[in-house]
């Protein structure tokens, strides 16, 4: 087989980058500080995992990439908003993100908060405006926004970040606590990304059920891998290396150790593949993507 | 005529308060810090102008209050998020809001940012979930979320706050600058509130056009009145009295003076009534509401 997952990811990432650049193009007239700070964080080179997952999922269920692309871009906007806010001095107080100084380091705290607020709000606007243009039905648009806002709000990502701050440098965080934290903070939006692609494609309810379980597993595996990379990988993630260590945060590395963490990633990847086997489609791209995420080192 | 606008506002406000209390009820189990901080700011006694305007507009165009109520609640959630973020130390650094200490004073800065993030995200989720339950069509739900996200995002409220911070204590702010600032920061969401009620009711396009002009006028009048009250009214607005003065902000009072500001409010109110006259409906409630807003002293 000639299919190379790295090339697939790279080509989809380029699609996303190009579209984001178009949506937030600088224009001729002097741009506002708000737009400048949005562009700074959104157009910085990111892995674009979530939008790629959305596009791969749409493709798997026979949908049109042109319809999923604005949704994928909206997802990256939501993700970027969460990074900008998480990096703030009152939150994780990080100096480096995606290989460059964090938004508030460049534009100041208030501008960073507003850039995040705008990205979040505009993401829903984009789904509706572009969705209607691309002839996604209103029913599907409602399902997309319900899925994403549920994953991003107080039932998902925001609650995850709140728990993360509450745990702080707490010592005795159990593996279950950690799992809950990450399934909310990271897993919910990763899962919603896969589901969104399937919704655009018009996948059946039971297909989406299996897909959700698949993406819950890879979301967790992704986070464990992130913890391992963060510990050793100054510069590799584009974040300040060892930032969790600095903040004395409990991570899978500190709670389970490296060996058990790697084993857990393997188990979760195998499990995720199993869920895909229940779907009567060619799910090879999603499988390759899951395997890639478990093995990446950046 | 026996109709009393104060009683009308009070009864609608109670509807909104009761529904918000139900949506965010404390429940039996220990509530998370996130939920506690959301409840603190959202359920603090507010004027509820925006949701009341939404309900009054829905009524004017023959719609059902039960359908508009969740939308009205979502609008108050968006408004509350904006207050929490605007009050932050890196923004206006305010200590008092709605008569009680600001969110970050009680729960800390990170919790306040997250409470705002959650309120904003959850507001869109609420419109979809409750909208579907109340049998609002998907087309209308899309129009509602497009209207509100457009008013709240980088084309509206967030850009308004960014301009406000940029002006800072700048001296030579022109009346036109001030108008632009406030039409984005305050006007956009007030206007979207009125339009949302009309969308729920299924008002015609040209009716919504006139309604938008009406609400643009009262939005501006409302802000001018706010500036006047802020200057003199320690305690009356529930904000720290003279907070604009403290921050050396340009206001309608400092730019136009009291007499001209009062005259402008009168003109805007008269103008707003004129727009309503072009609508072939009984618009008396909206007129009363506009007159009330121009005359209020808190």
What confidence tens digit (pLDDT) does each residue in B182-203 have?
Answer: 999 999 999 999 999 999 999 9
CATH number for A174: 1.10.600.10
Question: Measured between beta carbons, which residues in chain A are less than 8 angstroms from residue B90?
Answer: 108-110, 113
Q: Which residue of B has its CA nearest to A147?
A: B125
- Let me know the angle formed at the C-alpha of A40 by A38 and A45, rounded to the nearest 5 degrees: 120
d(CA B11, CA B23): 19
Per-residue pLDDT for A235 more than 60? no
pLDDT value of residue B3: 77
Q: State ipTM.
A: 0.95
pLDDT band at B28 (very low <50, low <70, confident <90, very high): low
Residue B3 forms part of a structural domain: no
Q: What value does the mean pLDDT of chain B take?
A: 92
d(CA A135, CA A148): 19
pLDDT above 70: percentage of residues in chain B: 93
Question: If you average pLDDT over residues A19-29, what whole number do you get?
Answer: 85
User: B221 CA to chain A: closest CA distance, Å?
Assistant: 26
Per-residue pLDDT for A25 more than 70? yes
Question: If you average pLDDT over residues A253-261, what whole number do you get?
Answer: 91
Residue range A57-90, pLDDT digits in tens: 999 999 999 999 999 999 999 999 999 999 999 9
User: What's the pTM value of the predicted model, to 2 decimals?
Assistant: 0.95
Question: If you average pLDDT over residues B46-64, what whole number do you get?
Answer: 97
To test the contact with chain B by mutation, choose from A79, A91, A110, A192 the residue with the greatest count of B C-beta atoms within 10 A, namely A110
Closest C-alpha among B93, B79, B61 to residue B16: B79
Residue range A261-283, pLDDT digits in tens: 999 999 999 999 999 999 999 99
**A122 within 8 A of A166, measured Cβ to Cβ:** no
Per-residue pLDDT for B238 more than 80? no
Question: If you average pLDDT over residues B273-294, what whole number do you get?
Answer: 96
Per-residue pLDDT for B12 more than 60? yes
Per-residue pLDDT for A215 more than 70? yes
Closest C-alpha among B111, B113, B86, B114 to residue B98: B86
**Nearest Cβ partner of A110 from B34, B90, B153?**
B90
Residue B154 forms part of a structural domain: yes
User: A184 lies in which domain range?
Assistant: 5-22+31-295
d(CA B103, CA B206): 41
pLDDT above 90: percentage of residues in chain B: 79
Question: Measured between beta carbons, which residues in chain B are less than 8 angstroms from residue A163?
Answer: 32
**Nearest Cβ partner of B142 from A111, A117, A142?**
A142
Residue B1 forms part of a structural domain: no
CB contact under 8 A, A120 and B118: no
d(CA A20, CA A169): 36
Q: Which residue of B has its CA nearest to A93?
A: B110
CB contact under 8 A, B38 and A154: yes
Question: Measured between beta carbons, which residues in chain B are less than 8 angstroms from residue A153?
Answer: 117-118, 121-122, 125
3-state secondary structure A183-245: HHHHHHHHHHHHHHHHHHHCCCHHHHHHHHHHHHHHHHHHHHHHHHHHHHCCCCCCCCCCHHH
Question: Measured between beta carbons, which residues in chain B are less than 8 angstroms from residue A139?
Answer: 138
Give the count of domains, chain A.
1
pLDDT above 70: percentage of residues in chain A: 93
Per the DSSP assignment, residues forming a β-bridge with A100 are A97
**Nearest Cβ partner of A90 from B109, B122, B162?**
B109
Residue range B140-156, pLDDT digits in tens: 999 999 999 999 999 99
pLDDT band at A234 (very low <50, low <70, confident <90, very high): very low
CB contact under 8 A, A124 and B149: yes
Question: If you average pLDDT over residues B41-46, what whole number do you get?
Answer: 91
Per-residue pLDDT for A245 more than 80? no
B239 burial (CB, 10 Å; 0-12 / 13-18 / 19+) is: buried
The larger pLDDT score, comparing residue A71 to residue A26, is at A71
CB contact under 8 A, A154 and B122: yes
d(CA A222, CA B145): 32
**A212 within 8 A of A195, measured Cβ to Cβ:** yes
Per-residue pLDDT for B276 more than 50? yes
Per-residue pLDDT for A54 more than 50? yes
pLDDT value of residue B233: 59
Residue range B222-235, pLDDT digits in tens: 999 988 987 775 44
pLDDT band at B290 (very low <50, low <70, confident <90, very high): very high
**Residue B177, C-beta contacts closer than 8 angstroms, at least 6 positions apart:** B167
> Could you tell me how many CB contacts below 8 A there are between chain A and chain B?
139
Question: Measured between beta carbons, which residues in chain B are less than 8 angstroms from residue A134?
Answer: none
Closest C-alpha among B248, B239, B215, B244 to residue B227: B244
Q: What value does the mean pLDDT of chain A take?
A: 92
To test the contact with chain A by mutation, choose from B71, B78, B103, B158 the residue with the greatest count of A C-beta atoms within 10 A, namely B158
pLDDT above 90: percentage of residues in chain A: 79
């Amino acid at each position: 087989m000639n299919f190379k997952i790295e090339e697939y990811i790279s080509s989809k990432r380029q699609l996303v980058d190009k579209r984001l650049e178009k949506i937030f193009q600088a224009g001729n007239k002097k741009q506002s500080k708000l737009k400048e700070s949005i562009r700074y964080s959104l157009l910085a080179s990111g892995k674009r995992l979530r939008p790629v997952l959305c596009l791969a999922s749409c493709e798997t269920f026979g949908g049109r990439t042109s319809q999923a692309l604005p949704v994928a871009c909206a997802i990256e906007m939501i993700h970027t908003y969460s990074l900008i806010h998480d990096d703030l001095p009152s939150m994780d107080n990080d100096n480096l993100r995606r290989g460059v100084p964090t938004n508030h380091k460049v534009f100041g705290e208030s501008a960073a908060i507003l850039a995040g607020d705008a990205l979040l709000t505009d993401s829903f606007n984009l789904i509706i405006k572009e969705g209607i243009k691309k002839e996604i039905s209103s029913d599907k648009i409602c399902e997309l926004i319900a899925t994403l806002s549920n994953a991003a709000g107080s039932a998902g990502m925001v609650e995850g970040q709140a728990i993360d701050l509450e745990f702080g440098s707490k010592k005795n965080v159990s593996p279950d606590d950690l799992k809950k934290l990450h399934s909310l903070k990271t897993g919910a939006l990763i899962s919603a990304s896969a589901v969104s692609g399937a919704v655009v494609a018009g996948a059946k309810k039971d297909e989406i059920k299996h897909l959700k379980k698949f993406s819950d597993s890879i979301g967790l595996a992704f986070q464990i891998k992130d913890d391992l990379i963060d510990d050793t990988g100054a510069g590799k993630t584009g974040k300040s290396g060892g930032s969790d260590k600095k903040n004395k945060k409990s991570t899978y590395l500190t709670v389970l150790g490296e060996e058990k963490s790697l084993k857990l990633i393997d188990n979760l990847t195998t499990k995720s593949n199993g869920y895909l086997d229940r779907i009567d489609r060619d799910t090879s791209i999603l499988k390759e993507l899951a395997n890639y995420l478990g093995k990446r080192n950046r």
